[in-house]
Amino acid sequence: MRKKQNILVLGGKGKTGRRVASRLIEKGQSVRIGSRSEEPSFDWENPNTWEAALEGMESVYITFQPDLAVPGASDAIKGFTSRAVKSGVQKLVLLSGKGEKEAEKCEEIVKNSGLEWTIVRASWFNQNFSESFFLDPILAGHVALPKNEAKVPYVDANDIADVVVEVLLNAAHNGYTYELTGPRTLTFSEVTQEISTATGRDIQFTPISMEEYNAMMQEFNLPDGYLWLINYLFEKVLVESNAVISNDIEKVLGRKPTDFTEYANAAVKTGVWNPVAVGHQ
């Protein structure tokens, strides 16, 4: 039986953090959820909240908001890791983005913090289509996105959570950087087809240009920072050199990663893609 630890899970209500926290609790670990709506609260935009959230913690799972590539992220990660060192934290596990060169600066800060560390560099999540920004177009039955030529090795948030729990609890993973991908790449039109088949709904895909996508986002009055990030992710992450499948999930967990079809069939059962349930509650 592994020693019981106090573990702070940042973004503990988000896509990976929520799954990491519930797995750790099931294993009898003591978990503090890092969230703006918990007590003590944790807010990346308010460094005054960091000390209380870190107090008494031995390990931290760091998920940054909105993304490690945004200007200012490295300052926040630097400030947070120094605070973690002062608080007596022993180990940091950082969620990073695969193919995000700018995020590597933040990875280096964690690696040079003097604490034990593991970096988990994930590809885009399957759950972006059921719990995040790609859900609305799926519900509307019409997905219009640029860069349909890009092949993305989507990874499942459940697999990420399994890896994060394993590396948090097992010192054999200290000092390693793992790249997490699913078992195959899919384009946006292939994803749309997969979800269409799984739901039995007619969901159309229309390829558009980056300019058209930007114009659409501007119509919705999305903040400039959000537009910057979406453009960064589409231009820098959706490139051929990043369409590489990794076997690190199998290396860490001793099993194959979840396939997109398996994810889609499981998501259908939750009712998340059922537009009737959303519109008429």
Which is nearer to ligand NAP, 82 or 201 (by Cβ)?
A: 82
Strand, helix or coil for residue 207: strand
Distance in Å, CB of 1 to ligand NAP, minimum? 29
Of residues 7, 9, 14, 252, which one binds ligand NAP by CB under 6 A?
Answer: 14
151 binds ligand NAP (CB under 6 A): no
29 binds ligand NAP (CB under 6 A): no
Instruction: State the residue number with the nearest CB to ligand NAP.
Output: 14
130 binds ligand NAP (CB under 6 A): no
Structure tokens at 190: 């292939």
Torsion of CA 94, 98, 99, 100, to 10 degrees: -30
- Give yes or no for a contact between 60 and 51, defined as CB atoms under 8 angstroms apart: no
Instruction: Provide the mask over 194-213, with x wherever binding to ligand NAP is found by CB under 6 A and - wherever it is not.
Output: --------------------
Which is nearer to ligand NAP, 201 or 217 (by Cβ)?
A: 217
Strand, helix or coil for residue 155: strand
Rounded Cα distance, 146 and 130, in Å: 19
- According to DSSP, residue 256 is labeled P
Tell me which residue of 179, 189, 195 sits closest to 260, measured CA to CA. Answer: 195
35 binds ligand NAP (CB under 6 A): yes
- Give yes or no for a contact between 96 and 68, defined as CB atoms under 8 angstroms apart: yes
First to last CA, the chain: 45
Which is nearer to ligand NAP, 57 or 280 (by Cβ)?
A: 57
Which is nearer to ligand NAP, 34 or 169 (by Cβ)?
A: 34
13 binds ligand NAP (CB under 6 A): yes
Of residues 7, 8, 16, 138, which one binds ligand NAP by CB under 6 A?
Answer: 16
> Please, what is the Cα angle at 23 between 167 and 97, to 5 degrees?
50
67 binds ligand NAP (CB under 6 A): yes
The 10 Å Cβ neighbour count of residue 93 is 25
Please give the residue ranges that form the binding site for ligand NAP (CB under 6 A): 11, 13-17, 35-37, 42-45, 63-65, 67-68, 95, 97, 122, 124-125, 128
